[in-house]
Chains A and B, each alone.
Chain A
């Protein structure tokens, strides 16, 4: 087991394209680190550089304190789980799992023991002598995991290992992966584009965009305290709502209501009265005013005409128009922050997540409540979060 340190790691291709730009990341011994971001953000490239499958153009990579930049993958003592599993089709499950040990000239009895032990852990014992082609998706995924764990490597590298599974199996395997990593305590770097996996699996999550590391933090911190528009919009589902806002004294004017500014936010925006900002409010920080009860005072109520209601059973999504004629500014800032890559790029619509008891009806006006303490403000020019 070992820690992994990326020190200004850069990947530059022959045509000058930089897939990963000066990435700094320290992954602690035994930590479960998630690399997350939209496709093309450089997360897989970063993982391949750690594995040694891609050359590092610049910077230093240390595994267990040793610089490994110029080492071949086999000399880095890492194991990898691939998105399509990359199981050897001509070998049985047993041979697949034991292949690395066999190449390392480990004694055959020892190989058998380790493979059987891993098969036991992964519930693969009865499939040991079958070929990958005869296994189900979930079983293949397990074999890929097994191939990694029999080696007892310094670190596991996983490249979207669950994305080829159907939704139900993915949830089940997610739990199993988490349990396995917890039990083995092996340093793990896990690449995914799925923010649910990122939030549920990782000790810490590194959010990337266009080759640049945006923020590294625990899932909770990423959710509560994002550093910029991109992270704020990427983490959380449905995505955070962004609206144009204008500071006016101790208040901020939003298209649909006016919110008082907390002390912190007040100092964050500075003295400039009339400053224009982008305000971020998560869908879950809205509620049907009738259902808020005692907390009513902690927020502001306003009326909105509901355009669409989606019922999920356990919750209800109500969409209403931001009603702003200055939508362009938000859109521009959002696209600069890369948010148009995300689903639901319609900045004109605000989505509120309401309790299922809500009487929200399409086309009717509803009294909504919003939690004023959860308001986040961003600089419209840079997309950076405004903080005290």
Chain B
């Protein structure tokens, strides 16, 4: 390596350093600290009993039914809401892409739900479905006294609706970005080749959007897996609707058991890591390929 190349490389590292240090401070450090805490008995109610306990906290979490119920809830909510978001988001992306007039208005109005604070959105949906004051029970075909939050799966359905309403725009936006990279000429060619509208969608649009779809799914799945606000507002975890994030919150904040809570956090982190690895390695969500020939 020449001197010039070496000094350029050193300059490169120096220029990256501030960003790298910032990243380490706000991500690596908390994660590392959570891991350290998770190996200890740290309960703020019994500070004198603190001490290293190895993986005891993990075995406590993994052997409790609560963790497994919450994990099921989280996966269930993630899979259902992300699937619905993908279908709706794709439809909205296609509409936004094809909109001939009022493009700006369409795109802006679609994005409004995403711009609303999750807690506020959750409250709106909760009020709408409240058995006594909400308007939903006034609608025809719905029992006037239906208690949406009094039962597990009806509570789930409202939570999913709120989640879908709130985050579909984000999905649509990511998909739209993928859609715009596809050359319009390909559709002309496919029309001449005899492809129907549906065939053009399945044989041209979908394969060429695969990278964008995988990236959108990755982002949304990671997001959905950490669901907290909506459940916290609507049910507070009652009726077996708790997610793993709520479990971690309860251990850490309500019960002040930092060791056990940190073990839950680390386990959530590992789940998220597994999801990311599956998407990136398994399904090949790498850099988007160019849609042009």
Contact = CB atoms under 8 A, between A and B. Distances in A.
Nearest to A84: B185
Contacts of A104: 194
Interface string B248-286: 000000000000000000000000000000000000000
A356 B194 CA distance: 54
A79 B293 contact: no
A87 B194 CA distance: 15
A80 B186 CA distance: 12
B207 A82 contact: no
Interface in B155-190: 183, 185-186, 188-190
A82 B208 CA distance: 19
Contacts of A53: 188, 191-192
Interface string A271-310: 0000000000000000000000000000000000000000
Interface string A71-112: 011100011101011111110000000011001100000000
A204 interface: no
Contacts of A99: 190, 193, 195, 203
A140 B293 contact: yes
Contacts of B203: 99
B208 A80 contact: no
B8 interface: no
A86 B289 contact: no
Contacts of A140: 293
A100 B195 CA distance: 8
| Number of chain A interface residues as a range | 20 to 34
Nearest to A77: B194
B108 interface: no
Contacts of B291: 89
B194 A103 contact: yes
A79 B292 CA distance: 20
A80 B194 CA distance: 11
Contacts of A52: 191-192
Interface string A114-156: 0000000000000000001100000010000001000000000
B185 A79 contact: no
A51 interface: yes
A82 B189 contact: yes
Given A132-B293, A133-B293, A86 B188 contact: yes
A293 B288 CA distance: 69
Contact of B293 (A51, A73, A85, A100): A85
B171 to A, nearest CB: 22
Contact of A89 (B192, B194, B208): B208
Contacts of B196: 74
A89 B292 contact: yes
Contact of A88 (B194, B199, B289, B293): B293
A139 to B, nearest CB: 11
B204 interface: yes
A133 B208 CA distance: 13
B290 interface: yes
A104 to B, nearest CB: 6
| Interface hub of B203, B207, B290 (most chain A Cβ within 10 A) | B203
Contacts of A84: 183, 185, 292-293
B56 to A, nearest CB: 51
Nearest to B204: A88
B291 to A, nearest CB: 6
Nearest to B208: A90
A263 to B, nearest CB: 53
30 contacts: A51-B188, A51-B192, A52-B191, A73-B191, A80-B188, A82-B185, A82-B189, A84-B183, A84-B292, A85-B293, A86-B185, A86-B188, A86-B293, A87-B189, A87-B293, A88-B186, A89-B289, A89-B290, A89-B291, A89-B292, A89-B293, A99-B190, A99-B195, A100-B193, A103-B195, A104-B194, A132-B293, A133-B290, A140-B293, A147-B189
Given A73-B194, A90-B208, A103-B194, 18 more contacts: A52-B191, A73-B191, A74-B192, A74-B193, A74-B195, A74-B196, A79-B192, A86-B185, A86-B188, A86-B189, A88-B186, A89-B208, A89-B289, A89-B293, A99-B195, A133-B290, A133-B293, A147-B189
Interface of A: 51-53, 72-74, 78-80, 82, 84-90, 99-100, 103-104, 132-133, 140, 147
Top 4 closest pairs, chain A to chain B, by CB: A74-B194, A86-B185, A86-B189, A100-B193
